[in-house]
Amino acid sequence: MNKQLHQLPHQVTLYKLIIVSIILCDCGTWTLHADTERWIQTFEHKCLQKLLRIS
C-alpha cells in the first residue's frame, strides 16, 4: 500500500503528460459543444478513478 501511494504522483504526472495531451491534441481547432465537454470530463474522471482505485 505504501509503495502504491509513493508511485501515485508519478502515475498522475504520466496521465497528465500522455493521456491528456493525446485527447486535447488540436483542440484549438474544435468547436467545443456541451456534449463534447461532458465527454472529456467523463473520460478524465474515469481515468483518474482507475488510477486512484476509486469506484
pTM over 0.85: no
Task: Give the position of cell 461532458.
Answer: 38
Task: Decide: helix, strand or coil at residue 5.
Answer: helix
pLDDT, tens digit, for every residue of 3-54?
555 677 888 888 888 888 887 787 778 788 999 889 989 988 998 888 888 8
**pLDDT (0 to 100) of residue 42:** 93
Higher-pLDDT residue of 55 and 2 is 55
What are the C-alpha distances in Å from 23 to residues 7, 15, 26, 29, 39?
23, 11, 9, 13, 11
**pLDDT (0 to 100) of residue 35:** 92
Between CA 21 and CA 8 the distance in angstroms is 19
**pLDDT (0 to 100) of residue 38:** 92
